[in-house]
Amino acid sequence: MIQLISYPLKNNWAALSARPQYDFEKLEKIVSQILNEVKKSGDAALQKFTLQFDGIHLNELKVSENEIKESGNLISGELRKSIALAKKNIERFHISQKESIRKVETSKGVTCWRKSVPIEKVGLYIPGGSAPLFSTLLMLGIPAKIAGCKEIIVCSPPDKNGNISPAILFCANLLGLKNIYKIGGVQAIAAMAFGTKSIPKVNKIFGPGNQFVTAAKMMIHKEGISIDLPAGPSELCVIADGTCIPSFVASDLLSQAEHGPDSQVILLSWDKLTIANIQAELKKQLLNLPRKNIALQSLKNSKAILFKNRDEAIEFSNKYAPEHLILVVKNADLIAKKISNAGSVFIGNFSPESAGDYASGTNHTLPTNGYAKSYSGVSLDSFNKKITFQKLSKSGLKNIAKAIETMAEAEGLIAHKNAVSIRIK
């Protein structure tokens, strides 16, 4: 089912950690053309690309207030309740990330502090297509509201009838978001990055997407527009031993494989029988999966790797740096302390990755493609800037004046030295 690799040598680990590759030169050429046309022609380009890629001509790009209000009537009561539960947990977790201002007297009479200030204008990209990710709007909209961002712009692709998923609109209404636009793909990223007559320019863009959206975000980042993180095709790594429940692990692997044909899942173990049992469960569960064909393509990019021992598996996982990591091993809590590179970690048989995707409270916008080695997932901090302050009394300046003057003079910056000297004379 998944390609099995037994006892790989360490000099092969880098190749085994590789993600599915694209022709980035070709990809960037396509993306660049769309970015430039939207930058030049604004709304007209947005309408052109929406017709070309989504098959619908839109006279009005913005979702009406009535469409937003009516959305709750188009989804089930059970879904409305589920979204409300997820909202409560996500809010609770992100509110806990608020920082209080702490003033520190670094020297007598010298006080320093730091304050979180919300980014004024943010853009949220919510994927649509075959699986409209309304949960992503909760994950991005909730911390944006808690942070206090003044203007929140939402873009999501329309269906063939020119509508955005009612579940996405219901989440927007629940969060009090009004500026929703029926634009998807690269053109949505371009609209928020450069601004058009209909869609305001923002200071930072958030949200996952396919390889085209990811490339667009990386390219506009080079032009000075801030982005959350490089979030491409989804991925999952599971470290499992004989204490795991094979059917649970198989369901977790398939939950990521069904995201898209370019998703990747990796199973790590030091127990042959565990891998065999999970492989058997994969075959069984795959038969009844509605997105079976997508999952099958994803599994071609995936691997089950048998190691000599637990420590090797952990070391490989830290080199792979997965977006999601599930630990279903003996003493999983202790093993979790050895994890240094991962977007989000799920501990034990009853912690499915789906919990983090929807309702446990953690954020599901996470670094992929090994970026977990240097990036964090989205959090409340992602929507804030940090500004530092300092206040010196006359005596406070005197206490550190000699050090400033000496250091400034050593760097040949005499005006810096004079800015202190003039005050203490």
Q: Does 324 participate in catalysis according to the annotation?
A: yes
Provide DSSP, 151-198: EEEEE----TTS---HHHHHHHHHHT--EEE---HHHHHHHHHH--SS
Burial (CB count within 10 angstroms: exposed 0-12, middle 13-18, buried 19+), residue 330: exposed
Return the bridge partners of 384, or none: 118
Q: Are 175 and 139 in contact (CB under 8 A)?
A: no
Q: Are 146 and 176 in contact (CB under 8 A)?
A: no
Report helix, strand or coil for 54.
helix
Provide DSSP, 326-391: EEESTTHHHHHTT--S-SEEEESTT--HHHHHHTSSS------TTGGGT-PPP-GGGGEEEEEEEE
What is the Cα–Cα distance from 66 to 80, expressed in whole angstroms? 18
Of the residues 94, 235, 281, 324, which is catalytic? 324
As a whole number of Å, the CA-based R_g of the chain is 25
Q: CA nearest 114: which of 388, 390, 391?
A: 388
Of the residues 323, 353, 364, 405, which is catalytic? 323
Determine what percent of the chain falls in helix, strand and coil, rounding each to the nearest 5: 50, 15, 35
306 membership: H or E segment, kind and range: strand 303-306
Cα distance from N-terminal residue to C-terminal residue, the chain: 79
What is the Cα–Cα distance from 7 to 17, expressed in whole angstroms? 15
What is the Cα–Cα distance from 404 to 416, expressed in whole angstroms? 8
Active site residues: 323-324
